[in-house]
A and B are shown apart, each in its own frame.
Chain A
Amino acid sequence: MSGPDRQEPFEEPSGPGSGDGDGCGAKGRDEQSGARRPPRIPLPRTSIEDTGNPLPDPPLAPVDLDHQVLRSLLGAWALAACSVEEAIAVEEHLGHCGPCAEEALRLRDAVGLLHQEESLDLDPGLRNRVIESCLGRRPPRIPVPDWAVPYDAETARLDALLRDIGDSEWNAPVRLRWFDDDSPVSRKTTVAGVIAHLLAVDGLVALALGLDDPLGSDAAPPADPSGRTESYWRASYFPPTRGVRGPWRAQTHELIRTVSFTAGGAYGAGSGRLTVPYSAPDDEGRRVELPLRDSMLERAFECWIHAEDIAEAVDYPYEPPSPRHLHHMIDLAARLLPGTLAERRRSGLAPPPHGLVAAGASGRSLRLEIEGMGGGEWFIPLDSPGADASADREVAHVALDGVEFCRLAAGHVSPEEAAAGQDGDRRAIRDVLFAAASLSRM
C-alpha cells in the first residue's frame, strides 16, 4: 500500500487540475511553501470572497486531506457513511491514486454483499428430524434415554425462542401462576427471572446426579423449588438478565449428557432408579420426591409451561410439545393423581374415601379421557393409591383436551373453569380436578 513516504510520481505539475500528482503525503505543503519560491502547485483560483459572487454553502468548503486520511476513509465512503465534502475529496483522490481506486472498487463490491440477516426461524421440528435421521444412519453407542428425550426437546425449543428475543424483552414482565391450598397464587418476575427459576429448580436434578448446584455450594440451599428460586433471585443484587441463558443452557446439556451415561448403568435401570428430592424431609423423615425418569419428564413439562409464559409475555407463537411427549407428560400427571388425592385427604383438603381398599384390590375409579393429540384414557383409583382402578367400578368420567389438562395441572386454569366434559359422581370429579391443580407449583 502507498504511504506518506511514497515517491511522487510526477516531478512537475502537468497543469491546472492535476494538482500534485496523487496528492500523497502532501499535507501542509501549501502553508509552508509561501510565495517566495515559484509555486510547485498552481496557485489557487481567486478567492470567491474577492469576486463579489455569492458564497457557497459553508459545508462545501474544500477539505484538504492527505492520502493516509483519504485511504482510511475508503470504508466509510463505500458505505456512504462520510460527509459530502469527504466523499468529494475521496472521489477526487481516486482519480489519481491507483491503489486507492482499486481498493475502493473492492470495498464497494463488498457492500453489495451485506444484507439484512434474514431472521429465518428454524422449524422447531427440524431438530428432531435431523437427529432421528442421523441416529438412523449410525445408531448411537450412548443414546439419550427415552425418558429424557422430552426434556431434550423442550429445552431446545425454549432455547430457540430465547435466541430470537431482543435484550429489552428479557426484562418483559411475566407472572408465574400456580395453585396453593386450592387457590390461585402468582409471583411477578421477568423473562430472565423465569429462566433463573428453571435453572434453580433443574438444579435439584443436577444435585441428585452429583453435579454442581447452580445455587453454589457455600450454604445449604433450600430444598424446595420455590425456596430455591427465591434464594437464587435474592443472591444477585441485580435482577437477572439475558446472561442467565448461558448457565441455564449449559446445565440442561450437562443433565442430558449425564443421564445418557448413567441410564444404562450396570445395576438394573441405572440412574432412572435414582430419586430426586423436591423438599426437605418433614418430621417423620418423609419428603416429596420423584424417580429421576419422572423428574426429567416433570422438568420437561415445566420448561414447556414456562416457555409458554415467556412466549405470551413477548408475544411469540409457541406450540405444545409433540404428541408423543405430551402423552408422557399427561401420563405422569395421571400417575401422580392417586397419591395426591390421598395426600389431600390426609391434610383435610378432600373428604375421606368411601372405605379403604386394600392395595391391589379393585376400588372405585374415575375415567380420565384426554382428547386430542397425545391423549388417551386413564383410570384413576379414588379410594386408595394402591387400589386397582378398572372400568368395572367406574363412578365418574371426565373428558378434557390434552393441552387444557396440562394447563390445569400447571395451575394456569382453575378446576372450576377447566373446559371438561363431566359425567357421574360430582364429588369424585371435583376431587380429581382439584388434585390435578394442586400438582402445580411455582
Chain B
Amino acid sequence: MAKDAPRRWDRRMQQRLAHGEAAALGELYDRFASLVHGLAHRVLGDEDAADRLTREVFAHVWENPDAYDPKQGSLRSWVATLTHQRAVRRLRQTESAALARGGEGTAEDLERKVRRASAAARADYIVTAMPAPLRAALELAYFQRRDYRQTAADLGVTEDEARRRLRLGLQLLSTANDAAGPAEPHPAQGPPPGYGRAL
C-alpha cells in the first residue's frame, strides 16, 4: 500500500514530461538531482564530469519520458540505473583513453577501478533506498560507532531486533558487489542489481 502513492507520482510525472510541461522538468530535477549527481560523482570522482553527466541524464529523461516503464520499478530506480550505466561507460571511456595515451596501469587495473567505482555507486544507492530502520541502525553502528546494544537502546528496539537490522542492512548492501562482474560488457541489458524493484 505504501508504494501506491509514489508510483502514482511516478506515473503522473511521466505523463507531465511526455506532455512537455517545463514545470515538471523542474520538479523532476528537484527530486532526483542530488541522487544523479551523487552517483555520477561517486563513479567519476570529478565535479565537472558529474555536472555534465547530470545534464545528460536529465536530457535523456526529458527527451524520452516514454522509455520509463512503471511496471519495471520506480522512476527513482530507473533514473539511478540510467545514471549508473552512463557513468560507468564514461569512466571506462576516459580511463581507456588515458591508458591509450600511455597512462599508468594495465587493462586489469582499469577493470578493477571500474568495478570498484561501480560497486561503490550501487552501494550508495542501496543505502539511500533501503528501509529507513535498517539505514538508521547502520548509521548508528558504523558512523556513530555504537555497539548493537547501544544501537538498540538508541532506536528503542530489542537487542535481537538491532542485530537483525544490522545483518539485514549489510545483506542488502552486499548485493552491490554482485554485479561487479568482469566487465559488464552490455550495460544496456537490464538494470544492474541493486536498482531493482525489491528496494
Contacts and interface: CB of A to CB of B under 8 A. Distances in A.
Given A73-B163, A75-B170, A113 B123 contact: yes
Contacts of B142: 79, 81, 111, 114
Q: How large is the interface on B (under 10, 10 to 19, 20 to 34, 35 or more residues)?
A: 35 or more
8 contacts: A75-B169, A76-B167, A109-B174, A111-B170, A114-B142, A131-B22, A133-B59, A137-B63
Interface stretch (B27-35, B78-86, B96-104, B183-191): B27-35
Contact of A142 (B23, B127, B173): B23
Given A76-B141, A76-B167, A110-B176, A81 B147 contact: yes
Contacts, number: 165
Contacts of B170: 74-75, 78-79, 106-107, 110-111
A120 interface: yes
Interface string B21-51: 1111111011001100110010000000001
B163 A76 contact: yes
B22 A260 contact: yes
A253 interface: yes
A195 B19 CA distance: 32
Contacts of B24: 257
A107 B59 contact: no
B37 A137 contact: no
B20 A81 contact: no
Contact of B20 (A107, A129, A140): A140
Contacts of A76: 141, 147-148, 162-163, 166-167
B169 A134 contact: no
Contacts of B74: none
A141 B20 CA distance: 5
Q: How large is the interface on A (under 10, 10 to 19, 20 to 34, 35 or more residues)?
A: 35 or more
A126 B22 contact: no
B166 A75 contact: yes
Given A126-B51, A133-B59, A142-B19, A120 B30 contact: no
B77 interface: no
Nearest to B37: A122
A183 interface: no
B90 interface: no
Nearest to B174: A110
Nearest 3 Cβ contacts at the A-B interface? A75-B167, A141-B20, A75-B166
Nearest to A105: B174
Contact of A109 (B33, B41, B177): B177
Most B C-beta atoms less than 10 A away, residue of A76, A116, A138, A142: A76
B69 to A, nearest CB: 20
A135 B59 CA distance: 8
Given A130-B29, A140-B25, 19 more contacts: A79-B166, A81-B145, A110-B176, A113-B173, A114-B173, A127-B26, A130-B54, A130-B55, A130-B59, A131-B29, A133-B55, A134-B25, A134-B55, A135-B22, A138-B62, A253-B26, A253-B27, A257-B24, A260-B23
A138 B23 contact: no
A103 B171 CA distance: 8
A111 B41 CA distance: 20
B30 A129 contact: no
A113 B41 contact: no
Contacts of A127: 26, 29-30, 33
B39 to A, nearest CB: 11
A82 B22 contact: no
A123 interface: yes
Given A114-B142, A126-B33, A138-B62, A120 B41 contact: yes
A118 B38 CA distance: 8
Contacts of A111: 142, 170
Interface in A50-92: 72-76, 78-79, 81-83
Most A C-beta atoms less than 10 A away, residue of B55, B143, B145: B55
Nearest to A152: B26
Contacts of A404: none
A106 B23 contact: no
